[in-house]
Structure 1
Amino acid sequence: MKIVNVIVESPKGSGHKYDYEPETKCFKLMKVLPAGLVFPFDFGFIPGTKGEDGDPLDMIIISEINSFPGCCMDCRIIGSIKAQQTERNGKTMRNDRFLGVPEVSQLFKDVKDLEHLPEGIISQIEYFFQNYNEQAGKKFEVLERLDAEAASKEIQ
C-alpha cells in the first residue's frame, strides 16, 4: 500500500471551499457552497504532485475524523475516481479524485482497497462532485474507478 502525505483544504461537513495558495502560503476561501451542499469527507491534495489541471492531485480522505484546513495526515491510497471535467469555457481535462484512508483511522482501518467500501460511499462522492461542478457551470464525468494498485501507479 502506498502511503502519501495529504494536506486538507476543505474539511468534511464544510459548506466552504478553501484552496491553498503557495504564493501567499495561506488557505483562501474560494466559494460558499449552495445551502445544503457540504463536503462528504475531508478534501485536500497530495503535495509535490501535479494533475492535468496544473494543481496538485486531489484527495478525498475517507475517515471518521473531522479535521481543519491545513491539517496534514499520512494516508494510504485505496483507489481513485478517474474523471473528466469540462470548464465553463468548454475546455475539457482530466481531474481525477484519489481516495485515501488516514493511517490513524480506527473505523476504516481494515479498508485497503476501493472494493472494501460500501458502494453508497463511492456513489455519494461521485454525485457530490457532479453536483458541485454543475453548481459552478462545469461538468464532471466519471470515467472509471481504479483500485489501490492502479491508483498508486497513477500518482507516480
Structure 2
Amino acid sequence: MTKLFKAGLLAASVLATPALAQEYVSPYAYPQPEEGGEFNAVIEIPAGSFTKYEINAETGHVFVDRYQVMPVVYPANYGSIPSSLGGDGDPLDAIVYTREPIVPGALIRVRAIGTLNMIDGGEEDDKIIAVPVSDVDPQYDAIQELSDMPAAEIDRLEAFFRVYKQLPEGRKVVELTGYEDAATSVAMVDEAIEAYRTQDSAANDNAEAGAEGESAAQ
C-alpha cells in the first residue's frame, strides 16, 4: 500500500467522521475578499487548450464537456468569478492572462484590466479580462489597462471569440461589441460580488425564518 493511497484513506476517514467533516464549498461559491479591487477567479480551461472543461458545482469535479470543433485554442485561461452574480443570473466569466497555463479547478487572485463586450446568441455575455495580482506574479504590475497589453494578444483574443463557435453549424452567433476600461471593469466585478452577497444574505434570512416558523408550529 503506497503512502499516497494511505493518505487518501486517511482523508476519506476524516471526512466520514461527522465531528471532523467540513461543509463542502462549491468552487463557484468560494468567498471573495472584502476590500474590492482584487478578486478570486476559478479556472476551467487552461490557456492553449482546445478541450472545454467544466466544473460540477455540486461536487467540484472537473469534467471534460467537449472538444472544440473549430481549429482554435483558448488564448488565455478561461473561467468564472466565484460568489458573483451577473445580469444573466450566472457568475461573471473571466479571461486570465498568466505566464503559464493554469490547471482546471485552480483558483487565482487577480485584478481586472478590462472587459470584452460580447453578444452570444442575442444575449450579453461579457468577459472580464484579468491578470495576476502582484503577490502572485509581479511581472504583470505594469499592465493596468488593456492598452498596456501587446497588440498581438488582443488580436488573438478577438480572433478566437469571433470564430470559436462557427463549427459545428447551428451554434449561437457571437458578436464582439468593444471593450470597457479597467475602472469600469472593477466596478462591474464589485457590483456582481455585492449582488451575490445580497442574494445570499436574503436566502439565509428566508431559511432562518422558515426554520423559526417550523419550530413555532411544533
Q: What's the TM-score once normalised by structure 1's chain length?
A: 0.88
Identify unmatched segments of 5+ residues in structure 2: 1-35, 192-218
- Name the stretch that deviates more: 6-15 or 132-141: 132-141
1: CA distance, partners of 2:152 / 2:172: 24
Identify unmatched segments of 5+ residues in structure 1: 87-91
Equivalence for 1:129: 161
SS in 1 for 2:152: helix
- Kindly indicate which of the two structures has a greater share of residues assigned to helix: 2
Equivalence for 2:74: 39
The answer to whether the aligner puts 1:152 opposite 2:186 as a matched pair is yes
Deviations 1:57-99 (A, max 9, x none): 111111212210011110011010111111xxxxx21000111
Q: What is the Cα deviation at residue 8 of structure 1?
A: 0.5
Q: What's the TM-score once normalised by structure 2's chain length?
A: 0.64
Equivalence for 1:140: 174
SS in 2 for 1:120: helix
Larger radius of gyration, structure 1 or 2? 2
Q: Percent identity?
A: 28
Match of 2:101 among 66, 70, 73: 66
Amino acid at match of 2:142: D
Q: What is the Cα deviation at residue 35 of structure 1?
A: 6.4
Equivalence for 1:89: none
Greater relative contact order (CA < 8 Å, ≥ 6 in sequence): 1
Q: What is the Cα deviation at residue 19 of structure 1?
A: 1.4
State the number of aligned residues.
151
SS in 2 for 1:134: coil
Stretches of 4+ aligned residues off by more than 3 angstroms: none
- Kindly indicate which of the two structures has a greater share of residues assigned to strand: 1
1:49/1:56 contact within 8 Å kept: yes
